[in-house]
Amino acid sequence: MFLSVRDWRPSWLLPDATAGLLLTAIAVPEQLATARLAGLPPESGLIAFVAAAAGFAIFGANRVLSAGADSTIAPIFAGGLAAIAASGAQYADLASVLALMVGVILVAAALCRAGWVADLLSIPVTTGFLAGVSVHIAVAELPALLGVPAVSGTLPAQVAGIAAQLPRINPYVLGIGLLAAVATLLTERVAPRVPGALLGIALGAAAVMTFHLQRLGVGMMAPLPPAAMPHDILGKVSLPEVVRLGPLAMVVALVCMMQTATVARAFAGDGDPLAPISPNLAGIGAGCLLSGLCGAFPVNASPPRTEAIVEGGGRSQMVSVVAAALVVLLLLAGRMIFAFVPQAALAGILIAIAIRIFRIKQMLRIHRQGGAEIWLVIASIALVIALPIEIGMLCSIALSLLQSIYGMARPLCTELARVPGSTVWWPPSPGESGEGEPGVLVFAPAAPISFTNVVYICRELELAVVSAPEPLTLVVIEASGITEIDYTGAAVLQTTIAGVRRRGMTVALARLSADKARQQAELTGLIACLGADHVFHSVAEALSHFRGKGRQAAS
């Protein structure tokens, strides 16, 4: 506990307090907008921020990570909750129960040290589903930005409904929304310490009051109601509804794990960027639990707010504690201020958030450097847009896992050649042939040998044997890339080795350097199948041994 404020020094008080003021200015409008995106009252966003800040400060480890209501997960759970709420449960109660479930999952993952699960999602798939989420955010907020009635239904139906209302756009509403969006995006790019969202709201409010724009259709928020005390949430949600929340809770928890890992590693400060993320998952999980108990919704780590803390000179989680205290003061004594916040400004902030998470630069890098992986980005975008958002998310996660499984099932298998003038055997570069050894094939599978890939590896080996340009007398399996060998892998490989031997060839193993792989090769009988005298430290040693035997046989 309290790892995030360990070694705190009094000299950090001023920079932490200053950064806390900046964080408050940035967080308040974002939390209001995210609560709107989640389909919940604006005050629930502020409550979620306070709960998340307290939970992470106590149980988290990263000094500067900012937790709170998050625009990435809000649209994911909003669609799922709406479907369940249609059966009779109160939407807000379902959101609170979901927060408790996500919190339990994250805390359990932290206790089991299961932070590695966050690494199962590839960058192309993550980029794609975030882009899909951004499209949902933009479409959901366009009516409020344009000043036209909201449209329900599927995403295509919403787009069609908005298009039909384009002649009815309110230019005053649109102007205030665009002002907030531009202020948010511009300050993020050129002056991260400036709270652009708050500036946009302030300018919009000034314009409304100066030109009496409420008479022209510009809507304002209502004053916040008095803060409610925590209440019995679980008693209002039935067991079947809790069961239906299970898959959605898993999806939200996985996204929280992924984003928390990314933020914690990107802003590790003086710590290790590859340190275990489990303590940070515990902090986010505790924040979700507190948020659910207070009647709010799931929370997550925030990359832009964390960056703002760093830019503002924050040194510890005291920054978030200061910001949470100021938000509590605002909830208690400043509720009337929110009556001056234009609804269009919140829509503009959400549009800016949607633009931020549609990572076009990342997509271009994937296209240039990742080759065919750009299709994973496109597929993930299409899944999240075409399907209900939580189903699309699940399909994107499945796509990421399939990509990983495919990579394991189809590993690189290379025929090695000798570097001229040396005893080193190496994969030849395109256009280079290297030196060969008459009657010798050196075959190198670059992966653990397991049930997922052994058939493919053995087929590649057989193909290399059959397609050799001259009759072979020796096949050397160069095993430096083999780090594991499971029972199925060893059994199938032994069968293949026996088949090669029946063709009159000798099979040897070289450079099985991984301790675990050597132990498994002994245990599964692979070494016995080859013969201990057919296992060598290097390809050169194997060739020297069999050349010597050949000379002895000739003499």
Quote the crossing angle between the two packed helices 123-146 and 13-37, to the nearest 10°: 70
Q: Are residues 387 and 266 in the same domain?
A: yes
Q: Are residues 282 and 380 in the same domain?
A: yes
Spatial CA neighbour of 425 closest among 322, 342, 536, 286? 536
Q: Is the pLDDT of residue 270 over 60?
A: no
Q: Is the pLDDT of residue 156 over 60?
A: yes
Q: Are residues 455 and 540 in the same domain?
A: yes
Q: Are residues 44 and 122 in the same domain?
A: yes
Q: Could you say which of 349, 377, 406 is where a domain stops?
A: 406
Does some domain include residue 35? yes
Spatial CA neighbour of 198 closest among 349, 394, 404? 349
Instruction: Quote the mean pLDDT of the chain.
Output: 90
Q: Could you say which of 371, 406, 441 is where a domain stops?
A: 406
**% of the chain residues with pLDDT over 70:** 94
Task: Point out the least confidently predicted range of 175-184, 319-328, 397-406.
Answer: 397-406
Q: Could you say which of 382, 406, 430 is where a domain stops?
A: 406
The domain spanning residue 515 has which CATH number? 3.30.750.24
Q: Are residues 28 and 122 in the same domain?
A: yes
Q: Are residues 389 and 423 in the same domain?
A: no
Does some domain include residue 369? yes
Does some domain include residue 170? no
Does some domain include residue 524? yes
Does some domain include residue 483? yes
* Domains: count for the chain: 2
Q: Give the pTM.
A: 0.81
| Exposure letters 415-428 (e unless 16+ CB within 10 A, then b) | bbbbeeeeeebbeb
Report the C-alpha gap between 444 and 415 in whole angstroms.
Answer: 6
Q: Are residues 401 and 417 in the same domain?
A: no
Digit-coded pLDDT (tens) for 194-208? 899 999 999 999 999
Digit-coded pLDDT (tens) for 222-243? 998 876 555 567 667 888 889 9
Does some domain include residue 8? no
Q: Are residues 400 and 435 in the same domain?
A: no
Q: Are residues 438 and 464 in the same domain?
A: yes
What range does the domain containing 417 cover? 413-554
Q: Which residue has the higher pLDDT, 224 or 164?
A: 164
User: Where do the H-state alpha helices sit in 267-388?
Assistant: 278-293, 303-311, 318-333, 343-357, 360-369, 374-386
Does some domain include residue 219? no
Does some domain include residue 184? no
Q: What angle do CA 541, 547, 550 make, to 5 degrees?
A: 145
Confidence of residue 545 (pLDDT cuts 50, 70, 90): very high
Q: Are residues 372 and 470 in the same domain?
A: no
Report the C-alpha gap between 234 and 414 in whole angstroms.
Answer: 58
Q: Are residues 236 and 381 in the same domain?
A: yes
DSSP at 449: B
Q: Which residue has the higher pLDDT, 16 or 120?
A: 16
Q: Are residues 485 and 368 in the same domain?
A: no
Confidence of residue 264 (pLDDT cuts 50, 70, 90): confident
Which tokens hold the place of 502?
A: 């029946």
pLDDT of residue 229: 54
